[in-house]
Amino acid sequence: MTTTAQTAGRSPVRRLAGTLHRHPRLRLSLLLTAPLLWLAVLYLGSLTVLFVSAFWTTDSFTSEVVKVWSTDNFHALFTTPVFRQVILRSIGVALAVTVLCAVIAFPVAFYTARIAKPRWRPLLVVAILTPLWASYLVKVYAWRLILSQGGLADWMLKPFGMSGPGFGLFAAVIALTYLWLPYMILPIHTALEQLPANLLDASADLGGRPGRTFRSVVLPMVLPSVAAGSVFTFSLSLGDYITVQIVGGKTQLIGNLVYSNIELNLPMAAALGTVPVVVIVLYLLAMRRTGALSSL
């Protein structure tokens, strides 16, 4: 009697709350249904179709996609000299950007984490972060302004009888380095900041000079963070094609090839698109050995 009265006195909302509380599985499936439909069906589904279509071909007369399984596209990828060149160039650009970022980032991060006065440090981190929020296009545009004819680069080099590099591969590397630099500074800064001071003291007590301490203590402990930062600088550079279009002159990277193939030959574009994905996965696997991924 009392139980019926209690049940009757409960509002439907309260009953629903009780049901949800008693059934964690139901709760979980309610939480996951919508996101999984979105990510697994829409996103992974599209990706799967894309990668499957890399094995299709295009009728050279009608540009219609022919859905017959073949590895022609991948064969072309490895045998066509242009494709090989562009792929190697893209990997080279990505590596060059990564190395440049690491070289520029290290002293900046060392300063912000160890040399600057502690009360200035949070402000310096903000100073590194702010350009991250400036629009990607605006930052590339800035380099277009700098490197254009009669621009800042020309003006600065004029007294030395030189002119700026202009648009081209070099300009693309500079602009990409500029774009992804904060992604490298931040992890290095964090690692250097967390470096225990007593380890450095111990090294000094044992007779290590700063150079030796740097090589034997600082560098090994910071390297995973450099690797973590390099994951961003490498993969973001490898997939980029807008920057190359804006400041790269006639230079082509994988992204540009994919872009120019989309209208005419989607299967070929899909096959080309697998290249950066495979390279990035290999890079991630290589970086995992350094323990970088756990510090991402």
- Positions 164 through 203 that interact with other proteins (CB under 8 A): 178, 181-183, 185-186, 200, 203
CA 256, chain centre distance (Å): 17
Q: How far is the CB of 60 from other proteins (least distance, A)?
A: 20
Instruction: Collapse the DSSP code of 66 into the 3-class scheme (helix H, G, I; strand E, B; otherwise coil) and give the result.
Output: strand
Which tokens belong to 28? Answer: 């979980």
Q: How far is the CB of 2 from other proteins (least distance, A)?
A: 18
Among 87, 102, 105, 287, binds other proteins (CB under 8 A): 105
Neighbouring-strand partners of residue 57:
66
Q: Tell me which residues in 113-152 interact with other proteins (CB under 8 A).
A: 114-115, 125-139, 141-146, 148-152
- Compute the least distance from the CB of residue 219 to other proteins, in Å: 12
Contact 210, 266 (CB under 8 A): no
Interface with other proteins includes 287 (CB under 8 A)? no
Q: Find the binding residues for other proteins in span 232-261 (CB under 8 A).
A: 232, 235, 238-242, 246, 255, 258-259
CB of 101 to other proteins, least distance (A): 11
Applying CB under 8 A, which part among 1-9, 75-83, 104-112, 285-293 lies near other proteins?
104-112
Footprint of other proteins on residues 32-91 (CB under 8 A)?
Answer: 32, 34-36, 38-40, 42-47, 49-50, 53
Our finding on whether 95 is near other proteins (CB under 8 A) is no
Cα–Cα distance measured from residue 29 to residue 232, given in angstroms and rounded to the nearest whole number: 34
**Distance of alpha carbon 177 from alpha carbon 284, whole angstroms:** 20
Is residue 273 a contact point for other proteins (CB under 8 A)?
yes
For helices 169-194 and 136-147, give the axis angle rounded to 10 degrees.
130
Candidate ranges 70-78, 79-87, 165-173, 212-220; the one touching other proteins (CB under 8 A): 212-220
Counting residues that bind other proteins (by CB under 8 A) gives 95
Helices and strands counted in the chain (H then E): 16, 2
Cα–Cα nearest to 168, from 158, 155, 180, 153: 153
Amino acid at 67: K
* 24, 81, 207, 220: residue in contact with other proteins (rule CB under 8 A): 24
Q: Are 93 and 237 contacting, i.e. CB atoms less than 8 angstroms apart? A: yes
With contacts defined by CB under 8 A, name the span among 1-9, 31-39, 72-80, 165-173 that binds other proteins: 31-39
Distance in Å, CB of 197 to other proteins, minimum: 8
Q: Provide the 10 A C-beta neighbour count for residue 83.
A: 19
Q: In this structure, how many other beta carbons lie within 10 angstroms of the beta carbon of residue 274?
A: 16
Residue 49: CA count within 13 A, CB half-sphere: 7
Least gap, CB of 169 to other proteins (angstroms) = 19
Closest to other proteins by CB, 32 or 285 = 32
Please identify which residue in 55, 74, 110, 170 interacts with other proteins, judged by CB under 8 A. Answer: 110
Least distance to other proteins, CB of residue 19, Å: 9
Q: Give just the sign of the alpha carbon dihedral 262, 265, 270, 276.
A: negative
Calpha distance 272→279 (Å, rounded)? 11
